[in-house]
Structure 1
Amino acid sequence: MNDQVSFGYEEVAPDEKTRRVGAVFSNVAKKYDIMNDAMSGGMHRLWKDRFVKRVKPQPGEAILDMAGGTGDIAFRMAAAGASVTVSDINQDMLDVGVERAMERGIDGLVWSCQNAEELSFSSRTFDAYTIAFGIRNVTRIDHALAEAHRVLKFGGRFYCLEFSATEWPGFKEVYDVYSHKLVPRIGQAIAGDADSYRYLIESIRRFPSMPAFEGMIRNAGFVNTRVEPILGGLVAIHSGWKV
């Protein structure tokens, strides 16, 4: 049995990946949102708006925003009146999120340091589970999907926003050059850290294809799964229901 997992283009032991991913996000936490703007030209904000529109958060319902770190998704859902628990394995990312919430005067969010593969929440607790640009950094994705299914109520919905591989001819080649050559340089210039952003780009390349990931979501027990590609699949919204 192969007990190694991918860390970018490397194969490492699971515990080593967890440690190294933690170090990556501790390193980039303070500059994470600035870098998102720089790398996507601000488009990540539109993707997140579209994602939350698909989730349709409702007043009073309980939502778990996993890998929610700096609060981008949670702030949007809380504005709709949902009761949001923001969870992340990295306390440095959560600290940035708490600080941002205080600056914006956003109250009522619950902040909880959690490993997506081993959540401490009781089964059938949440109406919805969201994870944006976080699932590819999980050491064992199948474990995280199983936990997402467990903590959702019957009738609960799962939504994931994640990078994938664009299927648009021409754009794919341009993006490959941009991401591999320029993103690490942008990371060095803005965050003083080229290596962390090199890993983040490599992790996108190692992530399963849209059909393969949809299959993993179904294997975790979700039904009525759907994939909504954005920019030809550069980014995709995955969804499923627990019945």
Structure 2
Amino acid sequence: MSTLEKKLLAAPRKSRYLLTVAAVVLVLFVWSLTTVSFQDMDQSGAHIALNIFKGLLQPDLSLLFNFTAQGVLYLLVQTVAIAFLGTLVGSVLAVPLAFLAASNIVPRPVSWLTRLVLIIIRTIPALVYGLMFIRVTGPGPFAGVLTLGLVSIGMLAKLFMDAIEELDTRVLESMTSVGCTTFEKIRFGIVPQLLSMFLSVMIYRFDMNMREASILGLVGAGGIGAPLIFAMRSYKWSEVGSLLIGLVVLILIIEWVSNRLRSKLVKG
């Protein structure tokens, strides 16, 4: 018997711990099933699901390749624009908030207060923000941009803050010893080290915002979501198929591009 096998056999058994965890998970699973109701599932629901599948197989090609404001391509471009602008706005505002939330950069009271603000921002769902901004700006893409910008701040600032706090503090200490101000430490000592990481997180958030922008269209915040729900309510399944095909293809393209960009940033 090899040394590795002896160490493996000599390791303490965790069967009781694993059984306890499995029992807890099973109880939670059964309890969660009690909140799910299958009574509303009837033949009409199955018929609608079948019609959606037929719409994917028989899409409205005239709508799919329509270059007017009612076409799928225009709606997809509008969705990408909303996601991009929302990510850009959120990223710009998240950077200063991340530095204000980092305990190794600013005094702890300032850090705690900023973190509390970020927690509050992350707590409210995107659809709620969308409904709020629609009341302020009216329905349309601008409400979607503001919504995605605000939603992005919470996540981006949190990830930026974690990266800032994991920096080697010796660089900051050396800059402090030569009399650098806080702004100079951020500008010349921190930002060059974090730039690639910040860009990678921003690309990831843009990928998420593409999906968020599609959902926000359901409440009238622009994008492809509103035409999709209108087509489903009107039982126009061929239009639903065209919209879904365009959305899936766009998401796959953006996923592929974002993965390549993030991998290059990591290697760089």
For the superposition of Structure 1 and Structure 2, which TM-score range results when normalised by the shorter chain? under 0.3
Higher relative contact order (CA 8 A, sep 6+): 2
Q: TM-score, normalised by structure 2?
A: 0.21
Q: TM-score, normalised by structure 1?
A: 0.23
Choose 1 or 2 for highest CA Rg: 2
